[in-house]
A and B are shown apart, each in its own frame.
Chain A
Amino acid sequence: MTGASTIRIGLLLPDVLGTYADTGNAAVLAARARWRGIPTEILTITADTTPPAGCDVYLLGGGEDTAQLFAVDWLRRHRDLHHALVTGARVLAICAGLQILGHTMRDRPGHDHPGLGVLDVTTAPGRRRAVGEITTTCVIPGVGPLTGFENHHGITTLGTAPLGTVLAGTGTGNGTRDHSGRRTEGVLTDRVIGTYLHGPVLARNPAMADHLLTAITGTEMTPLELPDQAALRRTYLSPRAARGGIHHRRRMPQ
Chain B
Amino acid sequence: MRAGLVASRVSRRVGVGAGSIIGGRVTLLLDPGALSGLAVGRRIVVVSGTNEKTTTSHLLAAALRTSGPVAHNATGSNMADGAVAALAAAGDAEYAVLEVDEWHLAAVARAVQPAVVVLLNLTRDQLDRGTEVRAVAATVGAALAGVPRTVVVANADDPMVVWAAGNAARVCWVAAGAGWLGDTATCPRCGNMLHTDRPAWSCGCGLTRPEPDWWLDGDLLCTGRQVTRLALRLPGRCNIGNAAQAVAAAAAVGVQPEQAAAAMGELATVAGRFAVIHRGRQELRMLLAKNPAGWAETLPVIDPARPVLIVINAREADGRDTSWLWDVPFDKLPCPIIVASGERAADLGVRLSYAGLDHRTEPDPVAALALLPPGSIDVVANYTAFHQLLRRLPVPAGPR
B is a partner of A:
yes
| Nearest 8 CB-CB pairings of A with B | A228-B349, A24-B326, A66-B191, A15-B185, A231-B346, A232-B346, A21-B323, A21-B326
Residues of A within 8 A of B (CB): 15-16, 18-24, 27-28, 31, 46-48, 64, 66-67, 69-70, 129, 131-133, 149, 151, 198-200, 203, 226-229, 231-232, 234-235, 247
Could you say which of A24, A47, A133 contacts B320, with CB atoms under 8 Å apart?
A: A133
Q: Is the CB of A19 within 8 A of B350?
A: no
Asked if residues A149 and B345 are in contact (CB atoms below 8 Å), the reply is no
Give Cα A70–Cα B203 distance, bound, in whole angstroms: 14
C-alpha gap A16/B184 in the complex (Å): 9
What's the minimum C-beta distance from B271 to chain A, rounded to whole angstroms?
27
> Do the beta carbons of A64 and B350 come within 8 Å of each other?
no
Q: A149-B321, A198-B321, A228-B361 are in contact. Are A235 and B347 (CB under 8 A)?
A: yes
B66 interfacial contact with A, CB 8 Å: no
**B interface with A by C-beta (< 8 Å):** 124, 127-128, 131-132, 134, 182-183, 185-186, 190-193, 320-327, 340, 344-351, 353-356, 359, 361
- A77 vs chain B, min Cβ distance (A): 13
Complex CA distance for A231 and B132, rounded to whole angstroms: 30
Closest to B324 in A: A21
Which DSSP category, helix, strand, loop or mixed, fits chain B's interface? mixed
Given contacts A19-B124, A149-B128, A232-B347, contact A199 B323 (CB under 8 A): yes
Chain B residues with Cβ under 8 A from A27's Cβ? 326, 354-355
Given the complex of chains A and B, what is the CA–CA distance between A134 and B324 in angstroms?
A: 17
- What are 9 A-B contacts defined by CB distance under 8 Å? A24-B326, A69-B191, A70-B186, A149-B128, A149-B323, A199-B322, A203-B351, A232-B346, A235-B344
On chain B, the residues within 8 Å of A67 by CB distance are 186, 191
Q: Contact between B191 and A70 (Cβ–Cβ < 8 Å)?
A: yes
CB distance from B332 to the nearest CB of A (A): 14
Interface contacts beyond A21-B323, A234-B346: sample of 16 additional A-B pairs, CB < 8 Å, sorted by A:
A19-B183, A22-B323, A23-B326, A24-B354, A27-B326, A69-B191, A198-B321, A198-B323, A199-B322, A199-B323, A203-B351, A203-B354, A227-B350, A228-B348, A229-B350, A231-B346
